[in-house]
Structure 1
Amino acid sequence: MNLNGSEWRPTSPSSPSPRARRRLNSLKAPKGSSTPAKRKRRRPHRMATAKTLRETLAFEGVGLHSGERCKVLLHPANLTDDDESIPWRNQAIRCHITVRKGGHVFPARWEFVVDTTRATVLGDGTVKIGTVEHLMAALWMMGITHCVIEVVQGDEIPILDGSALPFVEAIRPHAPPASPNVETRGEGALQLRQADRYLALSFSGETLFGYIHFPEPLGVQAGAFPVADSLTEIAPARTFGFLREVEALRRQGLARGGALENALVIGETGYHNPARFEDEPLRHKLLDVLGDLYLSGVYLPRFTLVAVKPGHALNVQLARMLAQRFGTED
């Protein structure tokens, strides 16, 4: 480095390499010009970064399926030792989200999924924690890659209003600001098909495509939503169910905490209570996919997702494929 204003001279007698000469020639002024040619300025590439909460948050309410009172605490996690980017175009973050109940601690990862009947359930062989997908979706939407989910009462994440919105609203004031204009640069895709169900995840673009088909009166719903609008277009969508199925589900030990206050109920002729969106069931299905996909242990800020008649079991299989693609398996 020259600090005294004198002319710089090479310290080595060797001539520049051919590559260096080409680089120097590209910077020379064009013929007839007395000023050097201007280099085209590249737009800076913004990287995704690992993030945690600023303080502990508490959530309390009924469990959707158990009907019991549930309480969870969301704790910050230390980033100094495990803040780690996956070296794939600097666009993926290896997540460290763990579940704790009493003396049991295990990762919120696809390997610990023990049930996918009407919800995603995590467990370590002794304890089980149900309905984790809405909270996981909220963590992804807020860019939280490191935290501890401590279950202090019950065996389920509280259903709250049936969507991810209460989690998002509580996390937002205590989360680091989002990185603006994070670019997506990637190639390839993951695809998964099971009968008439189909999931695909592309590492380029930023759109969520969804398609569902249920018996009438719900029928077919399809739509596309920008990934960047997930907080407003996907997070508020509530879980839904058919009125005709309620009694059968409760005999199976499911939906015991379901109510008009935490679910969109579909009757014989249409929605039994007011919908937040005309296609709210479709949006909630995409919400479930996002939450289940975050069990991969990989944070991707931008991607394209195609979900045709998705379900928790298929979602978790895609999470496994994503984990294998990025080498985050333990």
Structure 2
Amino acid sequence: MKSLRRLICFLLLGLIAVTLIAACNTARNTRVTNTRLTNIHVTNDQLQVGNCRVIGHEFGETCVPLKPQRIVALNPDTILDPLIALGIKPIGYTSDNVGGKEIIGSVSLDDVAGATNVGKSDQPSLEQVFMLKPDLILATKYHPYPLLSAIAPTVVVPSPNFDVPANEAFFKENLRYIAKVLGEETKAEKILDRYQKRIEDLKQRLGNRLSQIKVSVIYYIHGLVYTPAKNYDATADVLIDLGLHYKLPPSGKSFSIESVDEYNTDILFIINLERKPLSFFLQHPIFSRLKAVKNNRAYLVPLERWDTRGILGANQILDDLFKYLPENP
């Protein structure tokens, strides 16, 4: 067994060395961009060469098999979520660790039954990825692209960016990009159409109250609060799609708990990173003075469902909004 592992590692290192040399030679001819997803397009409108399509991404171009069968997804939110939504199960995936608990975003374990967990999303195991013999790796810019591309064709999926304006919600752009990589654009549009229909259904159910409800969403951890940002977190984008009065934050900033008065709205959703019970907030001297807490309209919502940048997560947020927004939840 040890000799087999040494052989595998030797072969992998050899592949990596070859790829690094090739990467150095081609880097001069590759224009690396740092734009939002809307500015990263499939080359020549999904140019097909032989048995693959050429996909442009932040680190260059990749020839993707027309029908990849062995996909490894290295991020739960921006890769695994849209893959599962499109009905595609990868052979390998990564997970995150929050509060000592392994989570895969808004994807259920049943959705990845039989697939292999290849490590944490910020540090996947290259050896495990290699052993799976993938024909396509979907990664982010934070992963070691030259090393991964030595194993299999690798596409770098764009990440959300606070600094560059977007035409629409990131989770929608993200789904469309993954669908374009895999040639599933029609299916993606049907998924987004179903999402929009659910938005319209909830609007109709709320009626005139929609223009009157004021909603806040906060993350809470170690005495700090911050709120989801539009065109980044699906939570904010779903609330905006509904047309609710939503307290928008300064992007990427957190505040001490004393600032929670800024979120004194009719309804308060709390994404509790410390997994404290609701009683902690109901009895807290600062939270307890908020209108939503006094009126029993403060709700703890699961991190796994609400801290999301994927279409599956957006629909799970909608599930909770159907549950909590009506007057008598």
Larger RCO (CA within 8 A; separation ≥ 6): 1
Higher helix share: 2
What TM-score comes out, normalization by structure 2 length? Answer: 0.23
Q: Which has the larger Rg?
A: 1
- TM-score, normalised to structure 1, is 0.22
